[in-house]
Structures are given as structure tokens and as C-alpha cells.
Amino acid sequence: MESSMTNDMHLETERTDSYHPYEVSSESAVCGQQEFHNLLNVLRPNGIGRNPVGVTDIKQAVSTPALTNVVIAGPCSVESEAQILATAQALSKIPEVKMLRGGIWKPRTRPDAFEGRGEQGLIWLREAKQKTGLPILTEVATPEHVELALKYHVDALWIGARTVVNPFSVQQLADALRGIDIPVFIKNPVSPDLNLWLGAFERFQKVGLTQLAAIHRGFAYYKESPYRNFPMWEIPIELTQRLNVPLITDVSHICGNRELLQATAQKALDLATDGLMIECHIHPEAALTDGKQQITPEELKVLLSNVTFRSKQSGNVECDLAGLRGEIDDIDSELLQLLARRMEVSVQIGEYKKRNNVTVVQMDRWKKILADHVATGEEMGLSPILINKVFEAIHQESIERQGRIMENEEESH
């Protein structure tokens, strides 16, 4: 408590004396705050700072066609003045690129790897902003990073996946940003833990930040996979169902290699992401971090010209979709009735098993049913994964109900 107060007071003094994140200073002459506000107005046309996350309809505001063009690009790490300037200049010529990313402090798995240029890198990143007009975005992991990033007029911050796993660190960052309504992009935690991700949003929301966005960068996974970080698309989708925040997909950290970028970007856009984050380097082969997944600005241009941005909402599309959605609603209602009927029969079987002293689980029969369903499903174009998931869930529910019958708790009606 005491340290967070000291921290706040310290920041406050610094800000009023020398800089303020929302002042248009000569340093921001090319890319003024106004331009960044314009960008956010594209992201959130309802205005800035008025919509507490999860309360008003930011989602509706972000589903404008303009938003589907939001691309955040830039190197994994800011390495040198020449590298960031050349990369930024090339990126600024791609209309979809709306922000320049660049890591200043790099979280590395092993010591002795390149850990970022620190404050010097911020000077170069600010220069890139001045020369190109692109708003800049960097990762912060400690209150000291926050202070320096604000000092150099970074326009938005992101919280990295390794930081989001630690509520102590997230709280320290939130305390350092108390009352400073700078846009903060929150990456998913390394582990597939939706609550941890939601908790990070809540911590920033509680200190008054209203410009929050999510970055999906995939999750560490115990199985072999072609991805560096397994996407588990259902988790970001659920996050956006729970919170009204824009969702950016960081395809670079999901893929870990250039080859998968295009298809993964398309998949993200198909699933209704609000934008893409893609690591770009003027010489990817010479990159000091994440070389395998970075692409040149030229390659980014090609990638973007080959993906289809999809509109989340439009009058005509909504109209066309209404009929199909009605059909889905009818089918779902039939499915529910069938499920209820199936459970009733299951209960009757349970009663029979009880009367005849037969065990609830009949593994051989169950294995045969499942194999038959998978085969039939495949003939109907349904994936084995779906069939397994659906019937495992139904079987589980049946076992639970029949188990209760054995204990005399449930009877058919």
C-alpha cells in the first residue's frame, strides 16, 4: 500500500514537472496525440475515456468496417536507430498499419540473451514516431518501465504474456498507471487461464483505465503442435463475450514461424478479430529476437493483400444472416428437446440396471457406440473431434444421472 502511494506520488510530480501523456508536445509534432485519438476514435467512435470496460457497448463501436483494417506492426525488439527507422518508414507506407510496435525490455527465457535496449531504444522509437507519424506501442513489465515509456510519449502500452500470469506484477503496473488513461493492450497469460486474463482487465479497470484492449498471442501447450503457442481460439472468443473490449490477434507469437502467418491471420479475421499484430523487421534474418517469425514490411504488404478482412456488422449482411440465424435457433431447440428425451431414456435404463444389479458403466458397449458414431459422423462430414466431445459429454451426464439413481436420488417422470 505504502509503496504504491509513494509510486503514485512520484509519478505525479514527474508528470506535472516535465511531461504529461496527453500533452501535445513538440516531441509529438508529427504524430500528435490528436492523431492517436483519431486512431482510437476509429477503434471506439463513441469517444475516448467514457466507456468503462464491460459496461457500455464498446464492441458495437468497434465493429465498424474501418476497424477491420487495424494492423499493429513493428519489430519484436527495437535494436538500433537504423533498424527501427527503416522498418517504421517502410511500414508507414502500408495503409492498414495504424501503429508501430517495438519491444524495449525483452522478457527472455534464458539469461545472456538480448534483453532489449532500454531507455536508448525509447529515444529511437520516439524518433520513428516523429518521422513517420505512426503512434508507438511498447511492452511494460515494471513501474519503472511505465515511467520511462510515459516520459518518451509512448502512445499505448502492452502487458506481456509472462507478466499477465503474475497478479502481483499486474497490480504494480495498474498502481503505476492509476489515473492515467493511456490505452493498454493486455496479452493473454502464457497459460490457458481465462480468469487470470480477466483479472488483469479488472485490475486496470479498477484504477480508472478505460481504453483497454486484448491481444491474443496463443498459449503454452503440452502437446506437439505446429504453433509456437497454441491458439485455443475459444478462449479469446469467450473473453470478448465476457468483456466488451477490442481483440487484436498477435499471429506472430501464435505461429512462431513465417509460413503459418497468412493462414492464421485469415483464421483470426474469419473468427471476428478486430485487428492483427504482426512482427516486422527490415532484415528478419538478422533479428536479435524472434527471427523466425518476423517478416519484412514488403512481405507484410503481400500478406495483407492476400487476406480478406470481414465485416462484423452491416445492414445487408445482418438481413441476410437473420434467416440463417432463425434456422440455427430452430435446430438448437430441436437438439435440446432430443437431449432431454435422451436423458429420460437414460434414466429409465438406470432404473432397469438398478433393479437387475448391473453396473452403470458398460465400457464395451460405450466404446462401440462411440466408434459407430464417429464413423457415421465422418460420413456426414462431422469431425471425430466434435463427435467425441459431444458424445463424451452426453455419456458423462448419463453416468452421473444413473449414478444418482443407484443412490435413489432420481427417478424418471
| Contact between 217 and ligand PEP per CB under 6 A | yes
Pick the stretch among 28-36, 71-79, 145-153, 387-395 that binds Mn ion (CB under 5 A): 71-79
Measuring CA to CA, which residue among 36, 48, 63 is closest to residue 137? 36
Q: How far is the CB of 43 from ligand PEP (least distance, A)?
A: 19
Contacts of 381 (CB under 8 A, 6+ apart): none
Q: How far is the CB of 166 from ligand PEP (least distance, A)?
A: 12
Residue number with CB closer to ligand PEP (253 or 301)? 253
Q: CA 237 to CA 7: how far, in whole Å?
A: 35
> 208 contacts which partner out of ligand PEP, Mn ion, none, CB within 5 to 8 A by kind?
none
Residue number with CB closer to Mn ion (52 or 291)? 291
Pick the stretch among 30-38, 66-74, 155-163, 384-392 that binds ligand PEP (CB under 6 A): 155-163
Q: CA 321 to CA 338: how far, in whole Å?
A: 26
Residue number with CB closer to ligand PEP (11 or 265)? 265
| Contact between 76 and ligand PEP per CB under 6 A | yes
Q: Are 71 and 97 in contact (CB under 8 A)?
A: yes
Q: How far is the CB of 373 from ligand PEP (least distance, A)?
A: 39
Task: Give me Rg for the CA atoms of the chain.
Answer: 25
Q: Are 227 and 233 in contact (CB under 8 A)?
A: no
The Cβ of residue 44 has, within 10 Å, a number of other Cβ atoms equal to 25
> 307 contacts which partner out of Mn ion, ligand PEP, none, CB within 5 to 8 A by kind?
none
| Contact between 76 and Mn ion per CB under 5 A | yes
Kindly tell me which residue out of 253, 258, 281, 301 binds ligand PEP, with binding defined by CB under 6 A. Answer: 253
299, amino acid identity: E
Residue number with CB closer to Mn ion (251 or 349)? 251
Dihedral sign, CA of 127, 131, 132, 133? positive
Chain positions 178 to 197 lying near ligand PEP, rule: CB under 6 A, are 187
Pick the stretch among 21-29, 72-80, 183-191, 396-404 that binds Mn ion (CB under 5 A): 72-80
Phi and psi at residue 89, to the nearest 5°: -65, -40
Residue number with CB closer to Mn ion (96 or 279)? 279
For residue 93, what are the CA distances in angstroms to 32, 44, 114? 18, 24, 29
Q: Are 183 and 208 in contact (CB under 8 A)?
A: no
Q: Which residue is nearest to Mn ion (CB)?
A: 76
Phi and psi at residue 295, to the nearest 5°: -125, 165
| Contact between 161 and ligand PEP per CB under 6 A | yes
Q: Are 229 and 219 in contact (CB under 8 A)?
A: yes
| Contact between 160 and ligand PEP per CB under 6 A | yes
| Contact between 135 and ligand PEP per CB under 6 A | no
The Cβ of residue 267 has, within 10 Å, a number of other Cβ atoms equal to 17
Helix, strand or coil for residue 193?
A: coil
Pick the stretch among 87-95, 159-167, 191-199, 220-228 that binds ligand PEP (CB under 6 A): 159-167
Q: CA 127 to CA 405: how far, in whole Å?
A: 72
Q: CA 294 to CA 103: how far, in whole Å?
A: 13
Measuring CA to CA, which residue among 368, 379, 374 is closest to residue 390? 374
Residue number with CB closer to Mn ion (109 or 305)? 109
Binding track, positions 85-124, relative to ligand PEP; x by CB under 6 A? ------------------x---x-----------------
> 274 contacts which partner out of Mn ion, ligand PEP, none, CB within 5 to 8 A by kind?
none
| Contact between 290 and Mn ion per CB under 5 A | yes
Measuring CA to CA, which residue among 246, 270, 227 is closest to residue 98? 246
| Contact between 281 and ligand PEP per CB under 6 A | no
Q: Which residue is nearest to ligand PEP (CB)?
A: 160
For residue 91, what are the CA distances in angstroms to 38, 76, 94? 19, 14, 5
Using CB under 6 A, count the residues that bind ligand PEP. Answer: 9
Chain positions contacting Mn ion, by CB under 5 A: 76, 290
Chain positions contacting ligand PEP, by CB under 6 A: 76, 103, 107, 160-162, 187, 217, 253
